[in-house]
Structure 1
Amino acid sequence: GKCCGKNRHLRLAKRALLRSLSLFEIHSGPYHVDVARVQDALGRLYALRGKPRRALEYHESALRIKSAILNARDPSLVRSMMKVAACHRALGQLEEAEEVLGEVLDGQNVALLRSADAEYRSSMMTLVGRTMRMIG
């Protein structure tokens, strides 16, 4: 019962997210941060369903969009990179995961060195910690 209920909720969530994705693409265009956020949510949903290959497709798509429209040090972009790395890791693609995490750490270190904003530095420190735990 509990498992079937969870699967039902995931199916309903998938349907709602796909509808949201379609609406955002129509109203905001395909290269909008809201489109990327929904794609990341779909990636997370597929990861929860044990489908890392499909999750990777959505996370990589979100990353392409965010890379085109956000600053390279934006925490949202960094989170998408970490999701891509996690999918590679789940698929046993450890070299790919390590490459992405290396890019994340390089970017985080540069951002920390340049930032005077305490809130931003705190956010980046949290992401650095998560990255190190994924590597570690």
Structure 2
Amino acid sequence: MQSAKVKLVKLVDSAKLPRYEHEDDSGLDLFALEEQDIPPGKTALIGTGIAIELPLGTEAQIRPRSGLALKHSITVLNTPGTVDAGYRGEIGVILINHGQESFKVLKHMKIAQMVIVPVIRAELEEVDRLSDTIRGAGGFGSTGV
């Protein structure tokens, strides 16, 4: 397992630092800074009260928690959210309530996962034609349902 040094700062004293729940987890748990209600069908920006400094060549992906999705129909709206290495502001999580009832985010509740991953920068080359493949341009269900 590779590691990367990520610096972080509490922007608010009451913020809870991200942490791995288990030794072999890929995602760090992110915690809500304060209570907030999310009505059915609505979104909310949930603050974490932390900021991070990622090593160059990495990004942080903000992903949903499966338990919140299964039990409460709560997920991260722009999943995965991207935190670029140059960003130094507060980590915020956009949650959406797909459920039928209002959902209460509690202070220090686990709201999302943050996974640190390497980034590959593409070198774009404009060409007149792409190579042929068996699949070709087939997409959106072209291989079956």
TM-score range (shorter-chain normalised) is under 0.3
Structure with bigger gyration radius: 2
The TM-score with structure 1 as length reference comes to 0.26
Greater relative contact order (Cα 8 A, min sep 6): structure 1 or 2?
2
Higher helix content, 1 or 2 = 1
The TM-score with structure 2 as length reference comes to 0.25
Higher strand content, 1 or 2 = 2
